[in-house]
Chains A and B, each alone.
Chain A
C-alpha cells in the first residue's frame, strides 16, 4: 500500500507541468490555433520564472514573470498567425526554436563556470510540499491529497475552472464556436480576432507557468541549461489529443502520463522488466491509438476543433 501511495504521489508531482502545458494548448486550440510552440513557451517560462525567483526571492513575482514572458512569445505567434496569417505549424515550430534559444542564451549568460545559479532556501521551502496541520497527517489520504506543493493544486483548480468555462458559460461557448466555425461565429457577431488573441496569449502564459514548475521544482531550483523542460512541451501537445480537447480529461491524461513516467521506479523487477525506453514510449503509443480510434469512430465529441490549424480570413468566406 505504501509503495502504491508513493507511486501515485510521484506520478502527480511529475504530471503537473504537463497539466499546465496541456491546459494552455487546449485553450489555444479551442479558438482554432494549433500552436506547436509549447516547448518554446515552456522554456521561456522556465527561464523567466527562474530568473525572477533568483533575483527577487518571490514566488508570486516568479510565476507572474513566467506567465508574462511565455505570453509574450504567444503574442508574437498570435500576431503572425492571426493578423498576418502566417502558417500556424511553421510559426509554432519557429517559436519553439526561438524560445529554447532565448532561454538557453540568457541562462548561459547567468551561469558561470564556478557557480550554478540556485534559488534561495526560503523560496525552495515555499515550493516544497505543503504541511497542513492535522490534514497532512491523516494516514494515506493525507499524503495523497494534502501534501503537494502549492502549484499542484493551482493546476488542478485552473483545469476545473476552464472545464466549466468551456462547458457552461456563454463566453466559453462563443469561444468554441470560433474554433469550430469562425465564419459562423463572425456572422453571429462574435469578434473572432479578439477571442483568438485573448485565448492564444492566455494559453501561452499557462504553458509558461508549467515551465516555471520545471525550473523551480522538477529541477530542484537549479538552472540546468542542458534540459530544464526536456521535451515536456511536446508531450503536452500529444496530451491534448489524449485528453480530447477537454480540460477535465487533461487532469486524468497528464496523471496517466505521469504514472508512466514514474512507473519504472515502482514496478518490482520480479513482476516485469521492461527496458526504460519502452516505458517512455508507452504514453505516445497510447496517444496514437486514441487518435486512430477517435478518427475511426468519427465521434464528433472528441475531435479537434474543426478549424484548428487554418487561419481565418473574413474576405475569403
Chain B
C-alpha cells in the first residue's frame, strides 16, 4: 500500500491481493482457462497447416471410438493412461499439501515396480508356487513398500539436516532409473542382447473384470481414501497444519518430524502402487515403466489444488489427449507429441489464470491523488 501524501512514484500497473472469489466465479475462471487453451492449441495446430476442428475431433474419436469387435477397446486403452496418472497424482498430492516437494514420483514408481517384480519373477520361475489371489496382493504390498521406503529417505534427511527435498527426490529418480536399467540388462535379463526380463507367469498378471483391469477399482478406492483421509481424518488435518505453518503445528503439540515421515511414506507408497499396477498390467518390467507420470502427476495434483475429484477430471483429460493423439498421428500425420504441446498449453493457461483467483491488477488512476 502506498501511503497518501508520500512522493513515491506509483507504477502504471501494480498488483494487489483481492478478496476471495466465490465458488461460481472460480468455476467460471477455470472454464475460461480451458477455453483459452483450446483456442491457443487450435491456433498452434492451424499454424502447422492442419484444421483444428478436424484434429480435435480425431483426438476425441481416437480416445473413445472402438472397433467393431470390441466397441470399448479405445476406452480401455484410454484408461490404461488414466489409472497410473490419477494414482500418482493422489500420492504426490499428500506430500504437496504438507509443502514437501516430492518430485520423486518417477523413482518411487520404479522402486515399487522393482519390489513387485521380485515376487512376480519368483512365481514365473516356480509356476503355481503361489496362487494368484495371494501373489497379486503380495506384489501390491511389496510395491507400496518399495515406493514408501524410497520416499522415506529424503524425508529423513530433510528432518535431520534440512537437505533440500526438491533436489534430493529429483536425484533419486535417476538413481532408481539406472538401477532399473541395470536389473533389466543384467541380473534379471532373460533374452541375451535385449533389455528384457520376459513376460510374467499368468498368476502375476493383473486380474481382468469384463475386459477391464482390476486396477481401475484400486484407483477408485484410492480416490475415495485420499478424499476422506484429507478431509475427515486427524492425520489429514495434521498434514494441512504442517503445510500451513510448521511453528503452528509445533505449538499445537504436533510431532512435525513424525508427520512428515508418515506422510512421505504414504505418498511414496501410493506411487509405488503405480509401479506394481504397471508391471502386473504389462506383464513385464521395462525402462519405460513410468511413462513420465511421476512428472505429469505433479502438474495434475497442483492444477487440481490437491482436490481428489479435480485430479480425476484432469487425469482423464490428459489420458484422452494422450490416447487420442496416438491415433491422430496415423490418421492425420501430425506427430503424437502434439498431445504434449496441448497439455503444456492447458497447464500454462491454468497456471496463468490461477493468478486472478488471488490477485488483481490495479491500474494507475489519472488522478493519482485518488484513494484506493
Q: Which A residues contact B (CB, under 8 angstroms)?
A: 34, 36, 76, 80, 83-87, 89-91, 93-102, 104-109, 225, 234, 237-238, 241, 275-278, 280-281, 284-285, 287-288, 291-292, 295-296, 298, 304, 309, 313, 315
Contact = CB atoms under 8 A, between A and B. Distances in A.
A36 B344 CA distance: 14
B214 to A, nearest CB: 30
A84 B359 CA distance: 9
A135 B313 CA distance: 64
A48 B354 CA distance: 31
Nearest to A313: B15
Given A108-B337, A296-B161, A315 B17 contact: yes
Interface in B289-333: 295-296, 298-299, 302-303
B149 to A, nearest CB: 16
Given A97-B344, A295-B162, 8 more contacts: A80-B352, A85-B355, A86-B352, A93-B295, A93-B299, A277-B181, A281-B174, A288-B172
Contacts of A89: 101, 103, 166, 298, 302
B166 A105 contact: no
A104 B48 CA distance: 13
A249 to B, nearest CB: 16
Contacts of A106: 48
B359 A292 contact: no
Contacts of B340: 97-98, 100-101, 104-105
A238 B174 contact: yes
A241 B168 CA distance: 10
B199 interface: no
Given A292-B163, A315-B16, A101 B172 contact: no
B178 A277 contact: yes
A167 to B, nearest CB: 23
A94 B347 contact: yes
Interface of B: 1, 15-17, 48, 101, 103, 157, 161-164, 166-168, 170-172, 174-175, 178-179, 181-182, 185-186, 295-296, 298-299, 302-303, 334-335, 337-345, 347-348, 351-352, 354-355, 358-359
A291 B164 contact: yes
B174 A304 contact: no
Contact of A288 (B101, B161, B175): B175
12 contacts: A87-B302, A90-B298, A91-B351, A94-B351, A97-B347, A98-B343, A105-B48, A109-B48, A281-B175, A288-B172, A288-B175, A304-B167
B186 A234 contact: no
Given A105-B337, A105-B338, A284 B171 contact: yes
A90 B167 contact: no
Secondary structure call for the A interface: helix
A129 B184 CA distance: 37
The 3 closest A-B pairs by CB, nearest first: A98-B344, A101-B340, A108-B335
Secondary structure call for the B interface: helix
A86 B103 CA distance: 17
A278 B185 CA distance: 11
Nearest to A295: B163
B61 to A, nearest CB: 20
B351 A34 contact: no
Given A100-B337, A101-B338, A284-B178, A86 B170 contact: no
Nearest to A280: B178
Nearest to A304: B164
Nearest to B342: A101
B16 A94 contact: no
A76 B295 contact: no
A84 B354 contact: yes
Nearest to A111: B335
B162 A105 contact: no
A247 B295 CA distance: 28
Contacts of A86: 351-352, 354-355
B157 A292 contact: yes
B338 to A, nearest CB: 5
A288 B351 CA distance: 31
Contacts of A234: 170, 174
Contacts of A288: 168, 171-172, 175
A84 B355 contact: yes
Nearest to B171: A288
Given A90-B351, A295-B161, A315-B1, A98 B341 contact: yes
A89 B340 CA distance: 17
Nearest to B186: A275
Nearest to A107: B335
Nearest to B340: A101
A290 to B, nearest CB: 10
Nearest to B338: A105
A97 B17 contact: no
Contacts of A291: 163-164, 167-168, 171
A95 B351 CA distance: 12
A80 B345 CA distance: 12
A120 to B, nearest CB: 25
Contacts of B334: 105, 108-109
Contacts of A107: 335
Contacts of B186: 275, 277
A210 to B, nearest CB: 18
Given A89-B298, A98-B345, A101-B338, A275 B182 contact: yes
Given A93-B299, A105-B341, A284 B351 contact: no
| Residue of B171, B185, B303 contacting most chain A CB atoms (<10 Å) | B171
A11 to B, nearest CB: 19
A147 to B, nearest CB: 32
A97 B296 CA distance: 8
